[in-house]
Amino acid sequence: MTSIGHNTKRTGAEVLADMLAGYGVTHVFMVPAVLRRTFAEMERRTKIARVHCHGEKSAAYMADGYARASGKPGICMAQVIGALNIAAGLRDAYLAHAPVIAMTGGRDPKTKFRGVYQEVDDVPAFEPVTKLNATIDDVARFPDMVRQAFRVATSGAPGPVHLQFRGNEGQVDVEEAEMDALVEAQFAHVPPFRPVADAAQVKAALDLLQKAERPIFVAGGGVRASGAGRELVALAEALQIPAATSLNGKDSIPGTHPLSVGVCGSYSRESANRAVNRADLVCFVGSGTGGMTTHFWAVPKIGTPAIQIDIEAEALGRNYPLQASVLGDAKTVLAAMLELADKASAQKRASWIEEVAALRNEWYGKYKPAFESDAVPIHPARLCAELTKHVPDDGIVVVDTGHAGMWMGGMYDLRSPKQSYMRSAGHLGWAFPAGLGAKAGCPDRPVICFTGDAGFWYHIAEVETAVRWKLNSITIVNNNGGGNQSKRGFDRAYGGTQTEKARELWTYTPMNFARLAEDMGALGIRVERACDIAPALARALAADRPVVIDVVSDIEALAPLAVS
Ligand SMILES: Cc1ncc(C[n+]2csc(CCOP(=O)(O)OP(=O)(O)O)c2C)c(N)n1
Ligand SMILES: [Mg+2]
């Protein structure tokens, strides 16, 4: 923490700009005008990029992508009229436990309830999507409240924070008080602490794992937040325990690792669900054991013997009664288990490992024709297979929901522990702006976003932002001319097969997104044949510009549904 005691009168704007720089913030994402004086001070006093976007929701998604890619809190801002758009954008960060700090302008006690232009009481709307939802009415509160925001956003299971600054544009920042810019560097990133677990809890959980004949790990977002992938893989190898992951934890273990069975749950891989459902002990690590990861508690079935490792005590045993629970940081706990692990106990699992390998092979065999398909329009599974082969070793893959989440969650494999994977926690349209934020947070790594066309339409205007701010991500649009994850649902709604007219509920005008991207100043590449995917990606990786690769794919291709 910087020293306190040289108090001189300073404006809130000076203090906020210095604090953000002190916390290592490199970008803020916003729609003006909010905290105007603070932006002027940022220019004078810091190198922070003030990324001026086309909508508050996409600004929040950019901050979210920045946070999930870099582990540092992402900052987004809006004046009072844009506050609820920001709140909507925090919803995905809340569901995915991403440390995002939203700063908005808001009501002045002197004029509230008098019908101030553009004003409503925004604070309650932030309540369900934040860990801390606070108002700053007095400029002297900047140093403690901004510190509290970073502390809450990064601690335990991370999540969003909202700070509302007095004044529709947060004009409280022009006022002065005797204060210093205080920074607690510890809370500039996730995780701020690595709580060590009780030794008896660690031993009890390890004993169960070692005794089990068919144990399996289910690694969640807590493993990625803790940076515990290496420890997970090392423990899995030492004890010969296969590992499934949640969608949020997909980059905990490379898909090409022989002990990886894939993503389990709803947007999943068949081999993962089958393996989890054959296990005699499931060890959840950093997983909320929610409906998406467990296919609504059918994978594994409730009653399956389970143990759980989590940093939040309340998460332990929430959905599965536990035989052992361990409270602590995933990396620290897994490392402690590895130290105590009895490798000889792995022998009894040889037939389980064979069974799991057979499930993996069977799955790869089943989809081999799709992975190698030369069909025109392109089969999305082929697109996933091309990405498995050609995403660079240090690539960050950012994936939308809908079929994008299903295709990539199930069919794409990370090849290296240095690759990262981030996914929408359910909001269509999240991935493209999140990918821009990821590029801001990790400028030296290639960022490859995978989105459907409906997902891309949401925030397409941000192509212009990417060009203006040189946020050089690569966006692959799986362009099937419709929101075809909706197809099955409308078939059902029409009693089996929908009418031709029902397609107006989920299809769009055919579009060439490469051409639109070019018009906005990005590099656009249209791909109509599968053999052109790899060359397009190579060209995009060399371009050093924002790139949109528009892949024309088959509207009839539906992603496989989960098995349980
Ligand atoms: C904010 C939001 N609204 C609606 C949905 C419901 N939804 C899920 S997938 C989907 C269509 C996806 O279309 P597209 O991005 O083109 O992908 P495709 O399924 O065609 O591959 C919709 C509308 C959602 N997930 N999020
Ligand atoms: Mg589509």
Q: What is the mean pLDDT of each run of 10 residues along the chain (564 residues)?
A: 63 98 98 97 98 98 98 98 98 98 96 95 98 98 98 98 98 97 97 98 98 98 97 98 98 98 97 98 98 98 97 97 98 98 97 98 98 98 98 98 97 98 98 99 98 98 98 98 92 93 95 98 98 98 98 95 94
CA of 399 to the centre of ligand 1 (A): 12
Ligand 1 centre distance from Cα of residue 453 (Å): 9
- For 92, phi then psi, to 5°, come to -70, -40
CB 64 within 8 A of CB 74: yes
431 close to 378: Cβ distance less than 8 angstroms? no
CA 543–ligand 2 middle distance (angstroms): 26
Query: Atom 9 in ligand 1: which residue has the minimum CA distance?
Result: 402
Distance CA 378, CA 255 (A): 23
Helix axes 56-70 and 462-469, enclosed angle (nearest 10): 50
Contact 482, 454 (CB under 8 A): yes
Q: Which residues contact ligand 1 via a Cβ below 6 A?
A: 401-404, 426-428, 452-455, 478, 480, 482-486
Give the predicted TM-score (pTM) of the model.
Answer: 0.97
Q: What number of other Cβ atoms are within 10 A of residue 85's Cβ?
A: 17
Pocket test of ligand 1: the residue of 61, 485, 513 to mutate, having most ligand atoms within 8 Å of its CB, is 485
DSSP lists the bridge partners of residue 165 as 105, 136
**Atom number, ligand 1, closest to the C-alpha of residue 457:** 15
Gap between the Cα atoms of 113 and 121, Å rounded: 9
| pLDDT value of position 51 | 98
Q: How far apart are CA 275 and CA 304, in angstroms?
A: 13
Q: Would you state the pLDDT for residue 8?
A: 82
Terminal CA-CA length for the chain:
51
pLDDT at 265: 98
Query: What's the confidence (pLDDT) of residue 6?
Result: 58
What phi-psi label fits residue 232: left (phi over 0), alpha (psi between -120 and 50 degrees) or beta?
alpha
